[in-house]
Amino acid sequence: MSFRNRCQVAGAEGIINLSVPLEKGRDQKTLMKDVRIAGKAPWQAQHWKTLLSCYSRSPWFEFYRDDLDVLYRQPVHFLLDWNLQCFEWACRVLPLKIEVGLTESHIGTYDETTRVDWRGKIVPKNRAESPVIKYHQVFEERIGFLPNLSILDLLFCEGRAARSLLE
């Protein structure tokens, strides 16, 4: 399993999983650039409603709301396109300058002195090993602190201070 088509946010009762439906399911052996999003499910509208429900009262939601609304209304057919749009948006609002390189074919190993290979490092099974960044969350008083949620949780709760927490 991976985070390539899913993320987690905080709801009033605990963790809510947001998953982008894939045409051939999650276990397909397909190049990332060719993974298609299942077009019939209204996942973007469902995700947006969940974000509104969970974060409309968070301190910084209104600051990011309009940009995200536009992002969630854009039609998207490939998972890579969605992930890149989300990543570029997060880098823009944080603001972070991160160079991303895309490959045309699978590369088994990278020279670690010239590139950082994140494949297999940020995966659900390694969540317990991830460093925990503490900040005040919307439902923390009710359900406790939930570590390793989507960057959206950090942005909606901390706004511009999110970048300093990530450094």
**Residue pLDDT, tens place only, 23-66:** 987 777 788 889 999 988 899 999 999 999 999 999 999 999 99
**Per-residue H/E/C for 24-80:** CCCCCCCCHHHCEECCCCCHHHHHHHHHHHHHCCCCCHHHHHHHHHHHHHCCCCEHH
Q: How far apart are CA 80 and CA 90, in angstroms?
A: 15
Output Rg (C-alpha) for the chain, integer angstroms: 16
For the whole model, what pTM was predicted? 0.87
Alpha-carbon span 165 to 133, nearest angstrom: 7
Quick: pLDDT tens for 16-27.
999 999 998 777
